[in-house]
Amino acid sequence: MSRLRELLESGRFVITAEVGPPKGSDVNDFREKVNLLKGRIDAFNVTDGQGASMRLSSLAGCLVVLSEGEEPVMQITGRDRNRIAIQSELLGAYALGVRNVLAITGDYPTLGDNPNAKPVYDLDSVGILLAASSLMNGKDLAGNPLKGNPPKFYLGATANPNFSPLELELIKVEKKVSAGARFFQTQAVYDLRVAEQFIKRVAKFNVKILLGIIPLRSVKSAQFISRMIPGVKISKELMHRMEVAEDPKLEGLKIAADFIKKVREHGLAHGVHIMAIGAEKTVPVLLEML
Amino acid sequence: MIITKGKPLDEILSELEGLEKIFIVGCSLCATASKTGGEEEVEGMKRKLESFGKKITGSIVLDPVCNLQKSRLDLKRYDSEIKGSDAVLCMACGNGLQTLGEILGDKPVFPANDTLFLGEVKRFGVFEERCLQCGRCLLTSGVAICPLSRCPKGILNGPCGGANDGKCEVAQDLKCVWIEIYEKLKAMGRLGDFRKINYPLDYSIKVRPGQHLVRRGVSSEQA
């Protein structure tokens, strides 16, 4: 049984964080990042070649998390594998102890560090959820029976509360829910009203929502995030706080902490998902502020 | 239409290195429309190659190159010119190139064009991909927009998380085709269809190379 699921269903406010596997086979630094957060967050979300950058696999990263006695969420994208490989990876992950899976379509190869790669996309995020759900029902995607007890995954997907038109995003959420998603990790949100609006609209799907948090690091990073995350709005007030801050990094963490505290106090979401994007080592500072 | 793009001349010259006598073949259909293999371009190529010391033994614009039996007949007239050439330069698409290769046996045939895609001529000199020839047209609820060819990821349940301000994550000047589909369905009052899950495609119907036979009104496809 997934511990993440138990926690989310118990009603406790859940905190997860993203950890990116290394560009290389040495996992010491990755293990250190996990250790820094050990016992302080509820699950570690391990990315799958994020930004189409070739890295150590998500499954291998999840095994490091498991070896530290912690709960991993395995991201799996459709970018690099066809349906045979995706299903194999899912079965292997379950056999080795991974219970939580986050299905993602995946950033396009030309955006990453191996731009010459052949893009696969045999399955999109909805297709991956269908495949995982099928395995959970004891059959592969083609309908062939699996041997032994089927896996029991806790399936997740992503959503973007900032997306416009929101109606379109909600239809995608609905599709992901019918394909098997039970929890959602959102894109970074900086505006409580945006979060509130989104949560209200998805309430009918009866799924767990982890609001995405990307702590700002500088005015530049805030501008970058504004450009890169579809529809995201970082208010003038937050921008001003970053501009005048003596220590912008610390200010970014404070902003994130304030946001998380409000989400928790108002019971806005079931939890938060912190994406430090390479700055995982600052997450403990953020957690201290909560 | 099959959209082609002329290869850089130095690439062609490097392929033709050591080959002096060249016969040029153009195509009356797609390559003419793409301005990569019509009469005009064949003439232009002749002059260019001559300026680099090549001897052009002759040329023909086939109508079209990819019709095997017809091209075989049409090329008969040039039998001696082709026999006397070191190589043939094909200014058609990748299909035309291979038809020529099949007809000309052991005569070296080189492509002058890169074949890009099956697409639309939007206006003079502007082409856009429209079909992947996947073997089974998606019905797409009447919007007549194919996400397989027009979404870089070819996803069936879009848009992906990268669509930003209506634009594609892969090319900023490209409108997200899934947003286009959504808007068109909405305008048609058929948004309900957008909610349906599109299941993964069946690739077993498209094993390469495709073969298609039509005889006496009966069409059979053995993919």
Q: What phi and psi, each to the nearest 5 degrees, are found at residue A123?
A: -120, 140
Closest partner residue to B153 (CB to CB) among A105, A168, A178 is A105
Same structural domain, B32 and B97: yes
* Mean pLDDT value across residues A110-127: 97
Q: What is the C-alpha to C-alpha distance for residues B86 and B23, in angstroms, rounded to an integer?
A: 8
* Cis before A165 (ω within 30): yes
Evaluate whether residue B167 is within a structural domain: yes
Same structural domain, B102 and B150: no
Q: Is there a contact between A124 and B157 if contact means CB atoms under 8 Å apart?
A: yes
A178 to chain B, any CB pair closer than 8 A? The answer is yes
Q: Is the pLDDT of residue B222 over 50?
A: no
Can you tell me whether residue B52 is helix, strand or coil? coil
* Cis before A109 (ω within 30): no
Residue A42 sits in a domain of what CATH number?
A: 3.20.20.220
Evaluate whether residue A186 is within a structural domain: yes
CB pairs under 8 A between A and B: 77
Evaluate whether residue A267 is within a structural domain: yes
Tell me the torsion sign for CA atoms A230, A235, A240, A245.
Answer: negative
A233 to chain B, any CB pair closer than 8 A? The answer is no
Query: How many CB atoms within 10 Å of residue A199?
Result: 18
Q: Is there a contact between B160 and A179 if contact means CB atoms under 8 Å apart?
A: no
pLDDT tens figures, A261-276: 999 999 999 999 999 9
Same structural domain, B9 and B40: yes
- In this structure, what DSSP letter does residue A145 have? B
Which residues touch A23 (CB under 8 Å, ≥6 apart)?
A: A53, A54, A55, A56
pLDDT band at B25 (very low <50, low <70, confident <90, very high): very high
Same structural domain, B50 and B104: yes
Which residues touch A47 (CB under 8 Å, ≥6 apart)?
A: A18, A19, A20, A21, A55, A58, A61, A75
Same structural domain, B38 and B106: yes
Q: Is the pLDDT of residue B151 over 70?
A: yes
Q: What phi and psi, each to the nearest 5 degrees, are found at residue B80?
A: -70, -40
Contact between A181 and A129 (Cβ < 8 Å): yes
Going from the C-alpha of A87 to that of each of A58, A84, B128, the distances in angstroms are: 14, 5, 35
Find tokens 């292997």 and name the residue.
Answer: A92
> Where is average pLDDT lowest: A50-59, B84-93, B131-140, B211-220?
B211-220
- Tokens read off for A117: 């790669």
Same structural domain, B144 and B105: no
Evaluate whether residue B93 is within a structural domain: yes
B187 to chain A, any CB pair closer than 8 A? The answer is no
Same structural domain, B91 and B152: no
Q: Is there a contact between B152 and A108 if contact means CB atoms under 8 Å apart?
A: yes
For residue A65, give its domain range.
Answer: 3-216+255-289
Residue B33 sits in a domain of what CATH number?
A: 3.40.50.2300
B200 to chain A, any CB pair closer than 8 A? The answer is yes
Cα angle value A90/A94/A100 (rounded, 5°): 85
Query: How many CB atoms within 10 Å of residue B123?
Result: 7
Q: Is there a contact between B200 and A178 if contact means CB atoms under 8 Å apart?
A: no
Specify the pLDDT at position B216: 63
Same structural domain, B101 and B137: no
Specify the pLDDT at position B172: 83
Q: What is the C-alpha to C-alpha distance for residues B180 and B143, in angstroms, rounded to an integer?
A: 9
What total number of domains does chain A contain?
Answer: 1
Q: Is the pLDDT of residue A138 over 50?
A: yes
Same structural domain, B97 and B37: yes
pLDDT band at A280 (very low <50, low <70, confident <90, very high): confident
pLDDT tens figures, B87-137: 999 999 999 999 999 999 999 999 999 999 999 999 888 999 999 998 888
Evaluate whether residue B208 is within a structural domain: no
A203 to chain B, any CB pair closer than 8 A? The answer is no
Closest partner residue to B161 (CB to CB) among A119, A141, A160 is A160
With the CA atoms of A195, A201, A203 and A209 taken in that order, what torsion angle do they form, in degrees rounded to the nearest 10? -30
Helix (H) or strand (E) holding A135: helix A125-136
A188 to chain B, any CB pair closer than 8 A? The answer is no
Same structural domain, B6 and B95: yes
Amino acid at A154: Y
Q: Is there a contact between B194 and A160 if contact means CB atoms under 8 Å apart?
A: no
Same structural domain, B146 and B107: no
Specify the pLDDT at position A232: 94
How many residues are listed for chain B in this entry? Answer: 223
> Where is average pLDDT lowest: A80-94, A134-148, A225-239?
A225-239
* Mean pLDDT value across residues B29-52: 97
CA-nearest residue to B201 within chain A is A122
A104 to chain B, any CB pair closer than 8 A? The answer is yes
Can you tell me whether residue B25 is helix, strand or coil? strand
Evaluate whether residue A206 is within a structural domain: yes
Evaluate whether residue A111 is within a structural domain: yes
Q: Is there a contact between A107 and B162 if contact means CB atoms under 8 Å apart?
A: yes
* Mean pLDDT value across residues A115-136: 98
Same structural domain, B137 and B112: no
Q: What is the mean pLDDT of chain A?
A: 97
What total number of domains does chain B contain?
Answer: 2
Evaluate whether residue B30 is within a structural domain: yes
- Tokens read off for B115: 């074949």
Report DSSP letters for B176-220, one per residue: PHHHHHHHHHHHHT-GGGGGSPPPPP-GGG-PSSPEEEEETTEEE
Evaluate whether residue A237 is within a structural domain: no
Q: Is there a contact between B197 and A123 if contact means CB atoms under 8 Å apart?
A: no
pLDDT tens figures, B92-104: 999 999 999 999 9
For residue B53, give its domain range.
Answer: 2-116
Closest partner residue to B182 (CB to CB) among A110, A168, A174 is A168
Q: What phi and psi, each to the nearest 5 degrees, are found at residue B162?
A: -90, -10
pLDDT band at B211 (very low <50, low <70, confident <90, very high): confident
Evaluate whether residue B157 is within a structural domain: yes
User: N- to C-terminal Cα distance for chain B?
Assistant: 21
Contact list in B for residue A160 (CB cut-off 8 A) is 161
